[in-house]
A and B are shown apart, each in its own frame.
Chain A
Amino acid sequence: MAVTIELPHVGESVIEGTIGQWLKQPGDTIERYEPLVEVITDKVTMEVPSPVGGVLLRILAQEGETLPMGAPIAEVETDEIPVKTTPVHRHEAEERPAAPAPTAAKLAGTTGYLVKGVRPVGPTGGGPAPEASPEVPQEVLPETSTEAPAKASTESAASTAGAPRLSPAVRRLVQEHGVDLTRLQGTGLGGRITRDDVQKYLEAGPVTAAPTAAAPATPSTEAAPKPAAGTDEEHIPLTPVRRMIAEALTRSASQIPHAWSTVEADITGLVALRTRVRDDFEERERVNLTYLPFVVQAVAESLKEHPSLNASWGGDKIILKKRINVGIAVAAPQGLIVPVIHDAERLSVAGLARAIRDLTNRARQQMLTLDDVQGGTFTLNNTGALGSVVSQPIINYPQAGILTTEAILKRAVVRDDAIAIRSMMNLCLSFDHRINDGAESSAFMQAVKTRLESMGPDTPIY
Chain B
Amino acid sequence: MPSIPLCQVVRPGNVDYKHAWDLQARLAQSVGRGQQPNTLLLLEHPPVYTRGRLSRPEHISLTPDQLRAKGISIYDTDRGGQVTYHGPGQLVGYPVVDLREWGGPVKYVRTLERIIIDTLADFEIQGGPEPGLTGVWVGDAKIAAIGVRISRGVAYHGFAINVNTDLSYYDHIVSCGIEDRPVTSMTRLLGEEVEMEMVEYSVAYQFGKGMGFRMVEADPAALS
- Contacts from A to B (Cβ < 8 Å): 79-81, 83, 144-145, 147, 150-151, 154, 158, 165, 167-170, 172, 187-190, 192, 194-196
Q: Does B204 contact A (CB under 8 A)?
A: yes
A169 vs B216: C-alpha distance when bound (angstroms): 23
Contact across chains for A79 and B216 when beta carbons are under 8 A apart: yes
Confirm or deny: B78 has a beta carbon within 8 angstroms of a beta carbon on chain A: no
Q: In the complex, which residues of chain A have a beta carbon less than 8 angstroms from the beta carbon of B123?
A: 167-169
- Nearest residue (CB) in A for B218 is A81
CA distance A169 to B118 in the complex (A): 11
The count of A-to-B residue pairs whose CB atoms sit within 8 angstroms is 59
What band does the interface of chain B fall in when counting residues whose beta carbon is under 8 Å from A? Answer: 20 to 34
Known: A189-B9, A192-B201. A172 touches B215 (CB 8 A): no
Residue of A nearest to B9 (CB): A189
Task: With A83-B219, A188-B204 given, name 7 new contacts (CB 8 A).
Answer: A167-B122, A169-B123, A172-B124, A188-B205, A190-B201, A192-B201, A195-B122
Q: Which 8 A-B pairs rank lowest in CB-CB distance, beginning with the nearest?
A: A167-B122, A188-B205, A189-B204, A169-B122, A79-B216, A81-B218, A194-B205, A168-B123
A-B contact pairs, 13 of them (CB 8 A): A80-B217, A145-B13, A147-B13, A154-B197, A167-B122, A167-B198, A167-B201, A169-B123, A188-B201, A188-B204, A190-B201, A192-B201, A194-B205
Rounded to whole angstroms, the CA-CA distance of A226 and B18 in the bound complex is 65
Residue B202 lies at the interface, judged by CB distance under 8 Å to chain A: yes
A151 x B197 contact (CB < 8 A): yes
B209 touches A196 (CB 8 A): yes
Chain B positions near chain A (C-beta within 8 angstroms): 8-9, 11, 13, 121-124, 197-198, 201-202, 204-205, 209, 214-220, 222
Residues of B within 8 A of A196 (CB): 209
| Alpha-carbon distance A110/B13, docked complex (angstroms) | 46
Q: State in angstroms the CA–CA spacing of A89 and B130 once bound together.
A: 51
Within the assembled complex, what's the spacing in Å between the Cα atoms of A190 and B198? 13
The answer to whether B216 and A81 touch across the interface, beta carbons within 8 angstroms, is yes
Give the docked Cα–Cα distance between A151 and B12 (Å): 12
Question: How far does the alpha carbon of A150 sit from the alpha carbon of B11 in the complex, in Å?
Answer: 13
Q: When the two chains form their complex, are residues A169 and B201 in contact, meaning their CB atoms are under 8 A apart? A: no
The answer on a CB contact under 8 Å between A192 and B205 is yes
Q: A165-B198, A188-B205, A196-B209 are in contact. Are A170 and B122 (CB under 8 A)?
A: yes
A196 to B214 alpha-carbon distance, docked (Å): 15
Complex alpha-carbon distance, A83 and B219, angstroms: 8
Complex CA gap A172/B201 in Å reads 17
Given A81-B218, A195-B122: A189 in contact with B13 (beta carbons within 8 A): no
* Chain A, Cβ-Cβ closest to B37: A81
- Chain B hits for A151, CB < 8 A: 11, 197
Q: Is the CB of B209 within 8 A of A167?
A: no
When distances are taken between beta carbons in the complex, the residues of chain A under 8 Å from B216 are 79-81, 189
Most chain A beta-carbon neighbours within 10 Å: one of B204, B205, B216, B222? B205
Note all chain B residues with C-beta closer than 8 A to A79.
214-217
Across the two chains, which residue of chain B brings its CB closest to A190? B217
Inter-chain contact B222/A168, CB cutoff 8 Å: no
Minimal Cβ-Cβ distance residue in B for A78: B216
Tell me the minimal C-beta distance from B193 to chain A in angstroms.
13
Cα distance A195–B122 in the bound complex, in angstroms? 7
Residues of A within 8 A of B124 (CB): 168-169, 172
Residue of A nearest to B205 (CB): A188
A199 to chain B, nearest CB (A): 12
Determine the chain A residues whose CB is within 8 A of the CB of B11 once the complex forms: 151
Find the B residue at minimum CB distance from A167.
B122
Please indicate the chain A residues that have their CB under 8 angstroms from the CB of B222 in the complex: 81
- Given contacts A79-B215, A145-B13, A151-B197, whether A169 and B121 have CB atoms under 8 Å apart is yes
How far is it, in angstroms, between the C-alpha of A165 and the C-alpha of B198 when the chains are bound?
8
Interface pair A189/B121, CB less than 8 Å apart: no
Asked if A80 and B122 sit within 8 Å, CB to CB, the answer is no
CB neighbours (8 Å) of B198 from chain A are 165, 167
Chain A residues, Cβ within 8 Å of B202: 167, 194
CB contact between B201 and one of A80, A83, A150, A189 (< 8 Å): that residue: A189
Complex Cα gap A196–B197 (Å): 19
- Determine the chain B residues whose CB is within 8 A of the CB of A189 once the complex forms: 9, 201, 204-205, 215-217
Cβ distance A31 to chain B, nearest Cβ, rounded Å: 12
CA distance A168 to B195 in the complex (A): 11
A80 contacts B215, CB within 8 Å? no
Nearest CB of A to B164, in Å: 15
Least CB distance, B93 to chain A, in whole angstroms = 13
CB of A156 to closest CB in B, whole Å: 13
Whole-angstrom distance between the Cβ of B4 and the nearest chain A Cβ = 11
Known: A145-B220, A154-B197. A168 touches B122 (CB 8 A): yes
Assembly CA distance A81 to B121 (angstroms) = 29
Task: List, in ascending order, chain B residues with CB within 8 A of A195's CB.
Answer: 121-122
A196 to B204, CA, bound (A): 14
Q: Which of B122, B204, B215 has the most A CB atoms < 10 Å from its CB? A: B122
Contact B220 A81 (CB under 8 A): no
Q: In the assembly, what is the distance between CA of A363 and CA of B55, in Å? A: 64
> Which chain B residue shows the least CB distance to A170?
B122
Closest to A144 in B: B219
Q: How far is the CA of A80 from the CA of B204 in the complex (A)?
A: 13
Of chain B, the residue at the smallest CB distance from A189 is B204
Which A-chain residue is minimally distant from B2 (CB atoms)? A1
CA distance in complex: A187, B205 (Å): 8
Residues of A with C-beta under 8 A to B197: 150-151, 154
CA distance A187 to B208 in the complex (A): 10
Which residues of chain B come closer than 8 Å to A167, judged between CB atoms? Answer: 122-123, 198, 201-202
A27 to B82, CA, bound (A): 51
